[in-house]
Amino acid sequence: MTKNYLTIKELTEAVGNGLTPRMVRHYHASGLLPRALRSESNYRLYTQNDVQRLQRIVALKQQGFQLSHIRKLLETDAPMPEVDTLRPLLQQQYQSVLQQLGRLRRTASALEGLLGRDRHCQRVQAEAITQLRHLDVETADELDLLEQLWDSWDAATDNHPEAFSESLQQLLPDLSDRSEIEVDLLKKLVLASGDVSLVNFVRLGKCAIAAARDRLKAGCQVVCDVPAVRGAIDQTRLAHLRCSVETLIANPHITSAADAEASFWQHHRQEQWQLAEGCILVIGYAPSVLLLALEAIESGQLQPALIVGMPIGFSHAPAAKRRLMRSGVPYITLEGIGGGLLAAVALNALAESLIEKPDCHCYLQDLNR
């Protein structure tokens, strides 16, 4: 084969990520790849530039971009005003994705309504499935019948409390390859969010659980970004473990991520944090707090044992989480979602794995003197 050129098979091997010759030919037909050179035997020939372009295409496709949008994004010679043309197209795709998610969410809710029945509702579940199999919905009257069926099935929930563990057992994916503590952590996050799909977005750094448990047992410093996160922390268990709890932005009037970001940039951006080595950071509101913490880690000024990084936001928060996952620091984070309650729940699950909740809080008075 011609020197310095790749065959289509060699090209797909160089790009990886499941790329096939058939997909390469499709990208040619879609205009994403320029026409390939041909050998004397009429084989397609590719260069390293083609490898790099395909890697970008594959990466963007994995992020969910449509091929038409990828083609526009890769038009390097396009003038700057083209950005104004592309933005509405991306916004249109975003709204389309949200509509698809809405439809899938409704389907998931319907399935949860059937599969998430505990033992007290199993008879109703069997009846519901039988009735759905024979349901013939063609008119508005029959749609009303479906609503009536749901109402009758839901009536079975009035005579007993919900058995959360049983419901989760029916709905969670197979977690047999996870540790008992990790499974408990995932279950608690699902219950806090009310969303079983959250399991797919939890990211744990290497040795994160072990590192956190070791430091909590040693009575480490726990540092929250805002009072709302501190308020959701299980301070009973932490006090019993002799862990101190601090707040970086101590303004009690902060009630949202926007408030936390504004306060951080106005009053705290230039502060020098005095945090103990081996502390645990719990960040559930301000993405800039997480970014500053990562800067301090990279400069050697901060050495936490764990970061629970679940800030809220649409640009800074995803960037901060990606940076956290590359930092080498043990972490617990959520892709795509976040919030102070979930951050606190993650830490509380780790503390609960170490100590049962005391029945009496009297000892707290001694600790606070």
Is 56 within 8 Å of 65 (Cβ atoms)?
no
CATH for the stretch 8-73: 1.10.1660.10
- Please state the domain extents for the chain: 8-73, 82-162, 172-367
Which of 53-62, 122-131, 173-182, 218-227 shows the lowest per-residue confidence on average (mean pLDDT)?
122-131
Prediction pTM value: 0.76
Which one of 21-25, 162-166, 208-212, 362-366 scores highest in mean pLDDT? 208-212
Q: Write down the pLDDT at residue 1.
A: 47
DSSP 267: I
- Percentage of the chain modeled with pLDDT above 90: 45
Q: What is the DSSP string of 59-123?
A: HHHHTT--HHHHHHHT-TT--TTHHHHHHHHHHHHHHHHHHHHHHHHHHHHHHHHHHT--GGGHH
Pick the CATH number of 172-367 from 3.40.50.10230, 3.10.20.30, 1.20.1050.10, 3.30.530.80: 3.40.50.10230
The pLDDT value given to residue 302: 93
Average pLDDT value over all residues in the chain: 84
Residue 178's pLDDT band (cuts 50, 70, 90): very high
Q: Torsions phi, psi of 221, nearest 5?
A: -85, 130
